[in-house]
Structure 1
Amino acid sequence: MVSSQPERLDRWLANQLSDFSRSRIQKLIEQNCVVVNAQPCTTKKATLQAGDFVQVYLPASQPLELLPEAMPLDILYEDDHLLILNKPADMVVHPAAGHATGTLVNAVLAYCGDTLAGIGGVQRPGIVHRLDKDTTGAIMIAKTDLAHQRLQAQLKAKTAGREYLAIAYGAPKAEQGTINLPIGRHPVERKKQAILPEEKGGRVAITHWQVYERLGNYTLFQFRLETGRTHQIRVHSAHIGHPIVGDPLYGAGRSIGVNLPGQALHAWKLRLKHPISGEDLEAIAPLPPTFTKLLTVLRRRAAG
């Protein structure tokens, strides 16, 4: 029973159903799953009046077409609400064309089984953010709808932090800086992103960087993301003249004597508040062997 002042339907439901995100609630409204005074309501902008009676029906979760695949997982943190993994190179996070199997989603399904919530109405792992196929490091998976909602809210509010390490070509004159340039789909090469004005479809993208270690004509950078656009660090780093070593799309294509699986970019640290307890958490993903080997080679060159 609604007893408050007039209020928009989706906003009122978001306050009543704290375990559901606003987008999930809006989808339920669109699916005729919300009934107001015995009449299905299909518009999220409907206004509720004092005394209105609201019912919400939850549809059965959609069947999952993906098959669980048992694969080794490097677990950095786990409890009943949250899983943080150290993703290896050459692993796609979500299934896509050409990568229907062998993804992180398949692996998490096999590991978590029926403990995963039906996030978004679909029985699938609640991966909160993505990493590129050959980018290694820490990635969050929510085990419940509430945890997923709160973790995404932290990323949006910038209260959760993501720090990366990358080895790039060149030696910047400054020790630190910020790149604030919008990123969008490359107008010609569809597999790439590019610096693109917002009026042409670019979206705000902000990357903070600092020199972690100088290696002669190479640099070990530490990057901190303020936004999370596709290929953001790779595009921004290349744009300022320091493409990441091994990057097949934005790199310089020069040989460095170390066989890399892809770009030398590693999601090093995740800082967040636990979605349920509010406890401060920090997950640190150890550097992969190829990254460590490249650092050793470059340190020797710089010293010699």
Structure 2
Amino acid sequence: MNEEHFDYDETDELEEIIDAGEETNKPGQLYEHYRFVADSGQSPLRIDKFLVNRIENASRNKIQEAANAGSILVNGNPVKANYKVKPGDIITIEMTWPPREIEIIPEDIPLNIVYEDEHLIVVNKAPGMVVHPGFGNYTGTLVNALAWHLKDHPWFQSNDPRPGLVHRIDKDTSGLLVIAKTENAKTHLGRQFFNKTTGRTYHAIVWGNVKNDEGTIEGNIGRSLRDRKQMTVFSDNSQGKPAVTHYRVLERLGYVTLLECKLETGRTHQIRVHLKHIGHTLFNDERYGGDQILKGTTFTKYKQFVKNCFAILPRQALHAKTLTFEHPATGKTMAFDSPLPDDMIRVIEKWRHYTAGRE
């Protein structure tokens, strides 16, 4: 057994580093990684203590994180870390990917590199590109492309599944990422994301006319108890992890709104979940219901208009627009701004024309 088995969702602090949560799993498919049956003489014992004594190299903190994510089941039901194991309990740990040693295969995939020096690379990731290999996506990822680009660089090792990564964005989110090229740069940049001293803004198209010109969304985010493929906002602060998103209206487009979002934290799917929580789901966000017509009329012509928009933008309307951090070697403030991708621009223009036609 290996502690690597628990690295499916990172620690809480690493969620700051792996922003918004990569979607690399085949939907609905779970794999049993461990299975234990408590013997008939088992005395009541917290399940995190029970498991830490049975899984080699697994820390109690890692086990608690697995429980918080709903991945530890007793007799088929998810339990918290303080559950008391009883005689005969069947305990399983299930995750949405099978154990596998991942070797990074360098692939000659074009990258949009906006800045590079001997310490780091800043790329503008295209929508549809997975950041790093995982179940169902062992090739064709950003890391595979980086491995090719840096194939002669001694620090990039084929046995490291996340070489140089200090944060990430969803497969279907476009925009800016910084990648470290040295161990020192990775440590320095990682600390900045951990301490929330980096700056990140996103542009998002959301359903509905957002009432206030600006605002802040606060609410603990954790894995949904009803659907473990989704994250949710918990009203009870004892569940999930604290998350804060600031937003500002950039343009009102009738039944949709263009927003700028600024992250204080970087929970899995944070922007997507927070905006859904306030009733403004991301446009065409299939995971959270934004691929349905949530606002507007019942006219056939309008329905066709929205379907045409979905066809132009076949993903959630979210772009990592700006990124600011301190250079790990020089200490200089580095600031980057990426243009909106063509699919978002075209959809915004379509909504402008539609709204103008209604006035």
TM over 0.5: yes
Which position in structure 2 is the counterpart of 1:268?
321
Which position in structure 2 is the counterpart of 1:31?
none
- Which amino acid in the other structure matches residue 209 of structure 1? Y
* Structure 1 residue runs without a partner (length 5+): 1-22, 24-62
- 1:160 and 2:213 are equivalent in the alignment: no
Which position in structure 2 is the counterpart of 1:138?
176
Taking the aligned partners of 1:232 and 1:117, their CA distance within structure 2 comes to 32
Of 331, 336, 340, the match for 1:278: 331
Taking the aligned partners of 1:69 and 1:99, their CA distance within structure 2 comes to 13
- 1:112 and 2:150 are equivalent in the alignment: yes
Question: Could you tell me how far 1:222 is from its partner in structure 2?
Answer: 0.1
- Which amino acid in the other structure matches residue 277 of structure 1? T
Question: Could you tell me how far 1:145 is from its partner in structure 2?
Answer: 0.9
Of 206, 221, 229, the match for 1:191: 229
| Alpha-carbon contact 2:150-2:156 (below 8 Å) kept | no
Question: Could you tell me how far 1:287 is from its partner in structure 2?
Answer: 1.2
Which position in structure 2 is the counterpart of 1:208?
246
Question: Could you tell me how far 1:64 is from its partner in structure 2?
Answer: 6.7
Taking the aligned partners of 1:220 and 1:284, their CA distance within structure 2 comes to 17
Taking the aligned partners of 2:164 and 2:274, their CA distance within structure 1 comes to 28
Aligned residues: 242
Which position in structure 1 is the counterpart of 2:186?
148
Counterpart secondary structure, 1:177: strand
Taking the aligned partners of 1:95 and 1:246, their CA distance within structure 2 comes to 25
Q: Given the superposition, is the C-alpha separation of residues 168 and 124 from structure 1 closer, same or farther in structure 2, using an over 3 Å criterion?
A: closer
Q: Given the superposition, is the C-alpha separation of residues 116 and 128 from structure 1 closer, same or farther in structure 2, using an over 3 Å criterion?
A: farther
Question: Could you tell me how far 1:102 is from its partner in structure 2?
Answer: 0.8
Taking the aligned partners of 1:187 and 1:93, their CA distance within structure 2 comes to 26
1:176-212 deviation per Cα after TM superposition (whole angstroms, max 9, x unaligned): 1111101011112121111133423x01111110101
Runs of 4 or more consecutive aligned structure 1 residues displaced over 3 Å after TM superposition: 121-124
Which position in structure 2 is the counterpart of 1:80?
118
Q: Given the superposition, is the C-alpha separation of residues 175 and 116 from structure 1 closer, same or farther in structure 2, using an over 3 Å criterion?
A: farther
Which position in structure 2 is the counterpart of 1:94?
132
Question: Could you tell me how far 1:117 is from its partner in structure 2?
Answer: 2.3
Taking the aligned partners of 1:100 and 1:181, their CA distance within structure 2 comes to 34
Matched ranges for 1:11-26 at <5 A: none
Counterpart secondary structure, 1:199: coil
Question: Could you tell me how far 1:123 is from its partner in structure 2?
Answer: 7.6
- Which amino acid in the other structure matches residue 271 of structure 1? T
Question: Could you tell me how far 1:214 is from its partner in structure 2?
Answer: 1.1
Identity between Structure 1 and Structure 2 (%)? 45
- Which amino acid in the other structure matches residue 281 of structure 1? M
Taking the aligned partners of 2:185 and 2:170, their CA distance within structure 1 comes to 23
| Alpha-carbon contact 2:324-2:333 (below 8 Å) kept | yes
Q: Given the superposition, is the C-alpha separation of residues 100 and 298 from structure 1 closer, same or farther in structure 2, using an over 3 Å criterion?
A: same
Question: Could you tell me how far 1:118 is from its partner in structure 2?
Answer: 5.5
| Alpha-carbon contact 2:245-2:263 (below 8 Å) kept | yes
Taking the aligned partners of 1:213 and 1:270, their CA distance within structure 2 comes to 21
Taking the aligned partners of 1:288 and 1:167, their CA distance within structure 2 comes to 13
Which position in structure 1 is the counterpart of 2:166?
128
- 1:287 and 2:325 are equivalent in the alignment: no
Identify which of structures 1 and 2 has the higher relative contact order when contacts are C-alpha pairs closer than 8 Å and 6+ apart: 2
Which position in structure 1 is the counterpart of 2:280?
242
Which position in structure 2 is the counterpart of 1:231?
269
* Structure 2 residue runs without a partner (length 5+): 1-13, 15-100, 294-302
Which position in structure 2 is the counterpart of 1:169?
207
Taking the aligned partners of 1:68 and 1:263, their CA distance within structure 2 comes to 28
Counterpart secondary structure, 1:115: coil
- Which amino acid in the other structure matches residue 328 of structure 2? P
- Which amino acid in the other structure matches residue 285 of structure 1? S
Question: Could you tell me how far 1:100 is from its partner in structure 2?
Answer: 1.1
Matched ranges for 1:34-45 at <5 A: none
Counterpart secondary structure, 1:127: coil
Taking the aligned partners of 1:106 and 1:122, their CA distance within structure 2 comes to 11
